[in-house]
Amino acid sequence: MDARDEHRTLEALGLADAPRDHPLSYPGAWPSGSGLLDGDELLPLDRLTHPGRTPVVAVGSNASPAQLRHKMAESGAVSPIPMVRARVTGIDVGVSAHISRLGYVSASPVNAPGAARQLFVIWLDADQLATLDATEPNYDRVLLPAPGFRVELENGEALLDTFAYVNHHGVLHDGSGSPRSHPGQRALLSELLSGSRALRKLFGETPEEFCRRARADARLCEQGTRLFTEENLVTVSGLEHLRVR
């Protein structure tokens, strides 16, 4: 690898830590702009659209190159992945109503008419799409239909057929019944633990202890997920109707 290539590594770009290994970093570091994820490097893109691949809007750790690299490497789907910044209108980033075995509470899209977020579209070939589907057992991949949802690339082009992963546990609400926003993992876990004695009993007093206990015990994660419902913390994402029946 020459000196120029070394500047394109995930390590050099500050993108090498995956939330799966560092749960309090969730959703992980996102790139500052569009790029081509190729192994341990993030290379420049020569175009923003990629016919023959499926565009998927990433709202959580799927926009982390390190996390995405791990997911693909585990199944042998190692071909490059275009990651394109886009302005997405119609969804916001909420909080999944389940606790992951990886030690965090993940993000989930919620219906938010008129809201606009800067997110990433990842363009996946058939093997990569099957791999990502398999890593999302708590989510259903759904089509985001226009005109209710708009995905606009950096060059102003709007995509017509993009997908996103909708959580089938529902999402956490903000106390008023509306979906709460995901503030980042440490802040989220601090808020959740502060508000629930039962959750502290299961997962400890601090975000660090929460992550340790969750990663060590799948049944505890399931118990904590049920607790969200038992404590009336769960609402709908507003995207359930998009699932294919």
Share of the chain above pLDDT 90, in %: 88
Helix (H, G, I), strand (E, B) or coil at 71: helix
pLDDT surpassing 70 at residue 3: no
Q: How does residue 4 score in pLDDT terms, banded at 50, 70 and 90?
A: very low
SS3 181: strand
| Secondary structure (DSSP) of 125-158 | -HHHHHHHHHT-TTEEEEEE-TTTSEEEETTSPE
Task: Name the band, by pLDDT with cuts 50, 70 and 90, for residue 245.
Answer: very low
With a cut of 50, say whether residue 114 has pLDDT above it.
Answer: yes
* Distance of alpha carbon 191 from alpha carbon 182, whole angstroms: 11
pTM above threshold 0.85: yes
Question: pLDDT tens for residues 143-182?
Answer: 999 888 999 999 999 998 899 999 989 999 999 999 999 9
Tell me the mean pLDDT in the region 25-47.
96
* Mean pLDDT within 191-199: 97
Q: What angle do CA 210, 60, 73 make, to 5 degrees?
A: 95
Which pLDDT score is estimated for 44? 96
What pLDDT is recorded for position 1? 39
**pLDDT value at 244 more than 80:** no
Q: pLDDT by residue (tens digit) across 40-77? A: 999 999 999 999 999 999 999 999 999 999 999 988 88
CA 160 to CA 180: how far, in whole Å? Answer: 28
HSE value, Cβ hemisphere, 13 Å, CA-based, for 36: 12
Residue 123, SS3? Answer: strand
Structure tokens at 45: 């893109």
Q: Which residue has the tokens 């570091």?
A: 29
User: What pLDDT score was predicted for residue 164?
Assistant: 96
Q: Which alpha helices (H) appear in the chain, and where do they start and end?
A: 3-6, 65-75, 126-134, 185-195, 197-203, 207-216, 218-230
Phi and psi of 78, rounded to 5°? -110, 10
Across the chain, mean pLDDT equals 94
| Residue among 8, 77, 6 at smallest CA distance from 42 | 8
Query: Which residue in 65, 62, 84 sits closest to 17, CA to CA?
Result: 65
pLDDT of res. 110 = 97
pLDDT of 113 above 50: yes
